[in-house]
Amino acid sequence: MRSEGKAIPPPQEGESAPNIIQELDIMFPSEPSKASFSDLASLAEKVYLRYMTSNAHYDALGDIPRPTDIYGRPGSPMESVDKKVEKHGWDGDRQMANLTLRMRDCLWYYELCHAIVDGDIGRVMEIIKVGAMANI
Amino acid sequence: MRSLQQLGERIKSKEVSVVWIYDNIQRNYNPWDQSVAHKSEMRTGTAATVLVMEDVPKGTFDPTQFAKRLHLHSKLCFEDLENEINDEHSNHIQGIGVATLLSIWTKYIPHLEHLAPQARHLFTNDHKKHRLQLRKSQFYPLKTSDIDESRPAGAQDILGDIAGQLGLKDEDFKDLLIPVAGDQVTVNNIRKLKMYTSTDRTSSSRYTWVLPWIQLWHMKWAALRSIFHAHWSAVDGKGLCGLHTDCKTLSRKHINPGKCDFYSHTDFIFDTFEALCLGALR
């Protein structure tokens, strides 16, 4: 299992970046016993909180302080690509904020479709409820 | 026809609860020799089905009890809904989010395949809400008609046509409440019909027995359109992220956010979402 904060080394000059399958092979080595379900579930929870919630969207915009238990230690501040578009002094990440909203919306849609296939009308209603509040 | 009449009797006696489903059907008519009397046209009609509902608690479709329940919920306000979503609901959605990530990772990463049953177990046990029993549906296809359902008057004609095929008379609707399902246009037309006839004399002609109900498939389609509306950028290119850029990267040729065909666009959303979930591991 990939340890927290350990990144795959960036490609050297002249090397092509590994594709995602190669990266996953590095992250999850062939011994199945190394990856326990609880480890994987805690990693999934972290990914969910970082990329699939409305709070993550506001975090990315820099509107609220980023909790260190979800994001780890703060890295170097983002720099806006087009400084004319954003307000002076704004240090958010617009692309990450938009991506977070997209992943959140897609998760709701994915769940809506799968809950219908599973025949779980209760799960469908939960998504309808939150979708109605978010104008989906 | 006889079985439809029998079904009508069972509906009348409240032995079964049913849902009426209808939608428009359109067909191009192209005559070989076109003339003033015979020219190409799009012919519109309606196809309807009656579906028997299962596991309906007693009194669910009783008009009096339904009115009482509506009255009880009339004090429901935005804060109540918001609090419910923020408290109990956010935990459920978080659990579903985690379970979805786990199911995608265990589906695509060979070394995690052995954990897939545990990920599946989260949906079928930990986060299940109200699973329906697996059973064969009882449904009764009705005769198609040439009624155009795109207006409230058309909806009125169709309701009359379905009632006629089931052998239901005006007085039979006094103690009935029947969900009538369709797409957004159908629901809108039925609501308008109920509004226009709200001052009529009988409950039958006021259509108080009709409960407009949007079908889940149409709801999914509306959600899909809203995703494309929100996340499809007008431009694509290097340094940008979004559905448009992903569409170009994946060389998907049949993606048109204006038209938004259901199956191809759903596949596209699923593929990109699953790739993003795998990419989140980086």
Give the alpha-carbon dihedral of A97, A102, A103, A108, to 10 degrees: 130
Same domain, B94 and B115: yes
Same domain, B44 and B100: no
Whether residue B8 has pLDDT greater than 80 = yes
Whether residue B145 has pLDDT greater than 60 = yes
Name the B residues in 149-168 with CB < 8 Å from any A CB. none
Same domain, B159 and B49: yes
User: Residue B85's closest chain A neighbor by CA?
Assistant: A130
Q: What does pTM read for this prediction? A: 0.84
Whole-number mean pLDDT of chain A? 75
Q: Which residue has the higher pLDDT, A88 or B231?
A: B231
Question: Taking each helix axis from N to C terminus, what angle separates B262-279 and A94-118, rounded to the nearest 10 degrees?
Answer: 120
**Residue B43 in domain:** yes
Same domain, B43 and B143: yes
Does residue A26 belong to the interface with chain B, where contact is any CB pair within 8 Å? no
Which residue among A27, A45, A120 sits closest to B129, beta carbon to beta carbon? Answer: A120
Same domain, B223 and B105: no
Q: How confident is the model at residue B235 (pLDDT cuts 50, 70, 90)?
A: confident
User: Residue A2's closest chain B neighbor by CA?
Assistant: B281
Contacts of B277 in chain A (CB under 8 A): 47, 103
Same domain, B249 and B150: no
Specify the range with the lowest mean pLDDT, choosing from A24-38, A91-105, B140-154: A24-38
At B11 the three-state DSSP class reads: helix
Whether residue B223 and residue A116 make contact (CB cut-off 8 A), yes or no, is: no
Whether residue A132 has pLDDT greater than 80 = no
Same domain, B44 and B148: yes
- Give the Cα separation of B230 and A101 in Å (integer): 9
Give the pLDDT confidence score for residue B103 in this predicted structure.
96
Same domain, B51 and B151: yes
Q: How confident is the model at residue B67 (pLDDT cuts 50, 70, 90)?
A: confident
pLDDT in tens, A79-124: 555 555 666 667 778 888 889 999 999 999 999 999 999 999 999 9
Whether residue B105 and residue A40 make contact (CB cut-off 8 A), yes or no, is: yes
Same domain, B48 and B140: yes
Does residue A35 belong to the interface with chain B, where contact is any CB pair within 8 Å? yes
Give the pLDDT confidence score for residue A29 in this predicted structure.
66
Does residue B130 belong to the interface with chain A, where contact is any CB pair within 8 Å? yes
Q: How confident is the model at residue B227 (pLDDT cuts 50, 70, 90)?
A: very high
Whether residue B273 and residue A98 make contact (CB cut-off 8 A), yes or no, is: no
Whether residue B212 has pLDDT greater than 80 = yes
**Residue B61 in domain:** no
Average pLDDT over residues B237-252: 82
Residue A86 tokens, joined: 């954003």
Give the pLDDT confidence score for residue A13 in this predicted structure.
60
Give the pLDDT confidence score for residue B41 in this predicted structure.
85
Looking at B214, B229, B252, the residue that finishes a domain is: B214
> What separation in angstroms does the CA of B185 have from each of B23, B30, B149, B154, B156?
10, 27, 9, 11, 14
Give the pLDDT confidence score for residue B199 in this predicted structure.
92
Give the pLDDT confidence score for residue A107 in this predicted structure.
95
Give the pLDDT confidence score for residue B175 in this predicted structure.
87
Give the pLDDT confidence score for residue A96 in this predicted structure.
86
Same domain, B268 and B239: yes
Looking at B161, B189, B214, the residue that finishes a domain is: B214
**Residue B179 in domain:** yes
Give the pLDDT confidence score for residue A56 in this predicted structure.
86
Q: For residue B18, give the CATH number of its domain.
A: 3.30.420
Q: How confident is the model at residue B37 (pLDDT cuts 50, 70, 90)?
A: confident
Whether residue A131 and residue B223 make contact (CB cut-off 8 A), yes or no, is: yes
Query: Where in the sequence is the domain holding B224, given as residue range(s)?
Result: 218-279
**Residue B34 in domain:** no
Contacts of B130 in chain A (CB under 8 A): 120-123, 125
Which residue among A29, A47, A105 sits closest to B230, beta carbon to beta carbon? Answer: A105
Whole-number mean pLDDT of chain B? 89
- Give the Cα separation of B258 and B270 in Å (integer): 19
Name the B residues in 243-262 with CB < 8 Å from any A CB. 243
Name the B residues in 72-101 with CB < 8 Å from any A CB. 81-82, 84-85, 89, 92-94, 96-98, 100-101
- Asked if residue B215 lies in contact with residue B182, where contact means CB atoms within 8 angstroms, the answer is yes
